[in-house]
Structure 1
């Protein structure tokens, strides 16, 4: 993979100039020819040293990777960062099952106080470790938030005038308990259909109200034989994702985030693929489930991806130094995040335009009952059962009164509109949420919420 920008070391940020891409298949080499602006590492380090908040370090940084930052320490860090920089605003967007605040930090020039204040309508969101026992994403987010809020580099100042950068810390209870799930043991990353957990509800609300153009979902994985790169990345695979959003997401993975990780001397691969002698031979993960955030974001017309840092050693040096492993885990998340920032910096106008256009395309397809609705499969696997796809899409769904009462709050969070009628409520497919509606309401959907009645004539 190749990228138009490069980063060396976890404290460095590449600073590309803005360049709008008109072709979603534009190569990274062409992009580099159009616009490249690498930031000198010494100049950037000096800018961070001179910044007012340079003394603000995470416990992880202060311990050289020996101690992960706790929830309480992170809360104090975020509050100190907000107090020290006019670029930073801290929002409590929800409350966890055990009553802890779910924080969204937004950074811009100036700091946006609400969704209406987003810089020129452009927003990139980092989900900082939805699984409580995967700490490196949180650490990468804390460091990057600090660095972006204090840098004086002109390229990044320009980005912050044009784009708002958000960091959300979704699962504080799992963070405290060092568990994958939340306080109830629920895997929040399997709850973006039903939205039963307060954590998934908070993130879904941010996606609905703040309307991100780009999302990077930060995770960790356990390396093993044939599956042992420093990082793994993947785009949304659900077959209902808009084709252009899918291409842009795949491009971000291949030309930006994966390339940025490799530019730092680390290895990167595609999540879910076992590799031998450089050739993939089996897919073991990375499917198209709509209830997973990576796919859910695509269905919401967000250019997005998953990033997975290897939680264990992947080199001989790391085998002998656990702290080196920990620091590399965070370096992966920082580098991938920088890659996403490069993507939106160079393609800001196109990303925003295509997110809006995808919503319009979905509405038009719903109105004309065109295309195919998929209940199974993924981008590299077609459905294998007759129930896996509907080639003659419905125009909408009829909900009973009981179903509406059960689902009304969830549909509102999902940004799905309905019209009440004598039989309950009618949900039209002619709306931006068209890719998600059948997956929520059809009995053929594995993770559907109810068996509503599909209608062929509305």
Structure 2
């Protein structure tokens, strides 16, 4: 990635994050996510996510599926940009950062799923110009769809997390942690996401997680691209 493009991508992500509290104060809240509709006591099931996405089909967004889970569920994506794009070539022709945001890789960590749905909803209805005039946003709100459907009490599936009442599990339908599968690519979800990465070649990849309590030295943590066949010595410390 060229230095200028790197700088633009970082600025775009900061701008995207800054949009969240601003849009939260607006009235651009229809349709509502299941979390919003229940006072954040509940999180969306797979059917809720699909219904929410279907309700956005009258907006200038591009919809599709990156592939299917091991249990056959389609993994939806939404592409948001002004002007609207539907192919990697169209996105690259705009000469702006492509930002790929993925949520729910661990399906007990539900906040990213709900936030990403609300973000796409609000940005696609917000006054222009807005951040969608500066980036191409690819949103994958329910990556681990099978794990999402393993609903159980939060006290069972996420023992140290403060709600919601029922949440999914960390593993996918094969019992694999998708966040540990990017090298061996054993899961169909992983293989589907790798096709998306290679096809769209995003400048920024954001993988949304939820902590149930930990100490970090910084409010924002990030990592540069790393090549899997690079020397391991510098990292084995």
Distance 1:23 1:172 in 2: 33
The residue correspondences of 1:260-299 to structure 2 (distance < 5 A) are 298-299=225-226
Q: Is residue 153 of structure 2 the alignment partner of residue 181 of structure 1?
A: no
- Report the TM-score when normalising by structure 2: 0.76
Judge conservation of contact 2:5–2:97 (CA < 8 Å) in 1. no
Structure 1 unaligned regions, length at least 5: 1-20, 32-37, 237-245, 247-297, 301-371, 385-458
Distance 2:4 2:123 in 1: 28
The residue correspondences of 1:47-446 to structure 2 (distance < 5 A) are 48-49=26-27, 54-81=29-56, 83-86=57-60, 88-118=61-91, 119-120=94-95, 122-154=97-129, 156=130, 159-168=131-140, 169-177=142-150, 178-223=168-213, 227=215, 233-236=220-223, 246=224, 298-299=225-226, 373-378=230-235, 383=236
Judge conservation of contact 1:120–1:162 (CA < 8 Å) in 2. no
Judge conservation of contact 1:127–1:217 (CA < 8 Å) in 2. yes
Judge conservation of contact 1:79–1:90 (CA < 8 Å) in 2. no
User: Aligned-pair distance for 1:377?
Assistant: 4.1
User: Aligned-pair distance for 1:107?
Assistant: 0.4
User: Aligned-pair distance for 1:235?
Assistant: 2.2
Distance 1:373 1:138 in 2: 33
User: Aligned-pair distance for 1:22?
Assistant: 5.5
Structure 2 unaligned regions, length at least 5: 12-17, 151-167
Judge conservation of contact 1:95–1:101 (CA < 8 Å) in 2. yes
Distance 2:6 2:70 in 1: 41
Distance 2:127 2:109 in 1: 31
The number of equivalent residue pairs is 207
Q: What per-residue deviation string (whole Å, max 9, x for no partner) do you get for residues 203-241 of structure 1?
A: 1111100110011111122315xx389x964323xxxxx
Equivalent in the alignment of 2:156 = none
User: Aligned-pair distance for 1:376?
Assistant: 4.0
Distance 2:35 2:87 in 1: 30
Greater fraction helix: 1
Q: What per-residue deviation string (whole Å, max 9, x for no partner) do you get for residues 75-116 of structure 1?
A: 1101111x1211x11111100000000111110113221222
Judge conservation of contact 2:6–2:203 (CA < 8 Å) in 1. no
User: Aligned-pair distance for 1:121?
Assistant: 5.1
- Report the TM-score when normalising by structure 1: 0.41
Distance 2:4 2:103 in 1: 30
1:191 to 1:376, Cα distance in 2 relative to 1, 3 A: farther
Higher gyration radius (CA): 1
1:212 to 1:375, Cα distance in 2 relative to 1, 3 A: same
Local SS of the residue matching 2:55: helix
Judge conservation of contact 2:81–2:137 (CA < 8 Å) in 1. yes
Q: What per-residue deviation string (whole Å, max 9, x for no partner) do you get for residues 238-275 of structure 1?
A: xxxxxxxx3xxxxxxxxxxxxxxxxxxxxxxxxxxxxx
Q: What per-residue deviation string (whole Å, max 9, x for no partner) do you get for residues 379-417 of structure 1?
A: xxxx46xxxxxxxxxxxxxxxxxxxxxxxxxxxxxxxxx
Judge conservation of contact 1:68–1:135 (CA < 8 Å) in 2. yes
User: Aligned-pair distance for 1:127?
Assistant: 1.1
User: Aligned-pair distance for 1:129?
Assistant: 2.0
